[in-house]
């Protein structure tokens, strides 16, 4: 596994966190993996991750503030070894677009659960819960890839 693309809806909260977390874990493990993120939608193209995602990442020594949202492209399906959807809706959208090497992040240690959109939790707690789930899933993903 040489390259990973994490995909959520707008690429401003969940997938930027997954990208940042994966880069940190890859660095800690000495892995040479190209890691990026994107959204299935185009609403936020060019924007920074949302403030709460930046804040929760920073509290775990992960800096995602330099990331910019982008929309997934068909070319991404050739450029990345693994396309990782953060939830079922994005998984299905990516499949319809033609993604082949496609998995759900929640299938790595979380019984195929969706990584929930933190905006549906009250207050900041949702971002912390989402961070913890993503970190756990990405860790298992790297563990399984190294076997």
Catalytically active residues, by annotation: 8, 14, 117
* R_g of the chain computed on alpha carbons: 14
Token pair in block for residue 131: 């961070």
Closest CA to 65 of 22, 8, 20: 20
- Name the strand (E) or helix (H) holding 85: strand 82-85
Q: What is residue 100's DSSP assignment?
A: S
């Amino acid at each position: 596994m040489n390259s990973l693309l994490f995909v959520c809806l707008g690429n401003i909260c969940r997938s930027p966190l997954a990208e940042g977390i994966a880069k940190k874990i890859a660095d800690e493990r000495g892995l040479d993996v190209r890691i990026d993120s994107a959204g299935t939608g185009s609403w936020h193209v060019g924007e920074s991750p949302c403030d709460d995602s930046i804040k929760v990442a920073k509290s775990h020594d992960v800096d995602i503030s330099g990331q910019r949202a982008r929309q997934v492209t068909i070319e991404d399906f050739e450029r990345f070894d693994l396309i990782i959807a953060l939830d079922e809706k994005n998984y299905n959208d990516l499949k319809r677009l033609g993604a082949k090497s496609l998995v759900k992040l929640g299938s790595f240690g979380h019984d195929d659960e969706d990584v929930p959109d933190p905006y549906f939790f009250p207050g900041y707690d949702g971002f912390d819960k989402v961070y913890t789930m993503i970190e756990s899933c990405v860790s298992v993903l790297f563990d399984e890839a190294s076997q």
